[in-house]
Amino acid sequence: MIIERHEDVTEAALRVMEQTADPRLREIMVALVRHLHAFVREVQLSEAEFRAATAVLAELGHLTTERHNEIVLMAGSLGVSSLVCLLNNGDGGATETSQSLLGPFWRMHSPRVENGGSIVRSATPGPAMLVELRVQDRAGRPIAGAEVDIWHPSPVGLYENQDPRQADMNLRGKFTTDAEGRIRFRSVKPAGYPIPTGGVVGRLLEAQGRHPFRPAHIHALIFKEGFKTLTSQVYADDDPRLDSDVQFGVTRTLIGRFVRHDEPRPADPALQAPWYTLDYTFTMEPGEATRPRPPIK
Ligand SMILES: [Fe+2]
């Protein structure tokens, strides 16, 4: 059609989108164009702003490499990653879910650790943490024989692959749940950490007066046939930034009680106070057991 008024552009573009053969792609493209045009009208986007926006999108792509993904970082910083997670789990967002974001630091082939073992592989100063995790189905029955990958940052907020002072695979381990659906391990209490701020996302945060931190957390990836693979994060309830996570990942159900102990532990007199315990339960939903593509090697 020949365009006569600005409304015609929207109509013409929508008509073309409606010719998309694949029904799902058609649904997505029609809605995308509808919302995109409405957005341009709502903010009365200027020509200079439009040029700036296309430059920002190009920069997001240029900054994305094998080791860093600025696009995923931006999606998280806009709350989109969390929204997609919440809408696709817990009965389409109707109930709470143990699902959370994978994040950029999962590595495949974490070393196997026996239940009760330690995942501290090189001297890592910080308070000791004794963790007991339970995996259950939606009826509360234990899931035995589930494979549980654990990884978390150090007490100064660095993953081993970011920190030359830590041994390879430090604070990472692969466990199997016992008959009660439990795993136990020993580690050191993680700290929160800033996301990378050297690119577009950093400039956005600065413009909005936002801090770049994620609250302290432990990652888990739980795999068991018959269940949707569970990607989760458990957040420390004593972190001051629990309610201002830069990636909007903290939900009520993902907050774990990191209990501080200042007394000696009779079973382990060498343990220095303060030390912490964490006891947390994950719920798996029925679905497909698949392993995600590791974001890093
Ligand atoms: Fe993380």
* Coil, helix or strand at residue 275: strand
Which residues, given as ranges, of the chain have pLDDT below 50? none
Measured in angstroms, how far is the CA atom of residue 262 from the centroid of ligand 1? 27
The pLDDT, as a whole number, for residue 202 is: 98
Digit-coded pLDDT (tens) for 191-236: 999 999 999 999 999 999 999 999 999 999 999 999 999 999 999 9
Measured in angstroms, how far is the CA atom of residue 36 from the centroid of ligand 1? 32
The vertex-274 CA angle with 238 and 114, nearest 5°, equals 90
The pLDDT, as a whole number, for residue 163 is: 94
Number of H helices, E strands in the chain: 7, 11
Q: In percent, how much of the chain has pLDDT > 90?
A: 89
Name, in order, each residue with C-beta under 8 angstroms of 23's C-beta and a sequence gap of 6 or more.
none
Tokens 């994305």 belong to: 64
The pLDDT, as a whole number, for residue 65 is: 87
| For ion ligand 1, residues whose CB falls within 5 Å | 103
Closest CA to 214 of 257, 158, 173, 172: 158
CA distance 56 to 58: 5
Measured in angstroms, how far is the CA atom of residue 59 from the centroid of ligand 1? 24
Measured in angstroms, how far is the CA atom of residue 2 from the centroid of ligand 1? 52
Measured in angstroms, how far is the CA atom of residue 35 from the centroid of ligand 1? 32
The pLDDT, as a whole number, for residue 297 is: 75
pTM, whole model, 2 decimals? 0.92
Residue 233's Cβ-count burial label (10 Å; 0-12, 13-18, 19+) is buried
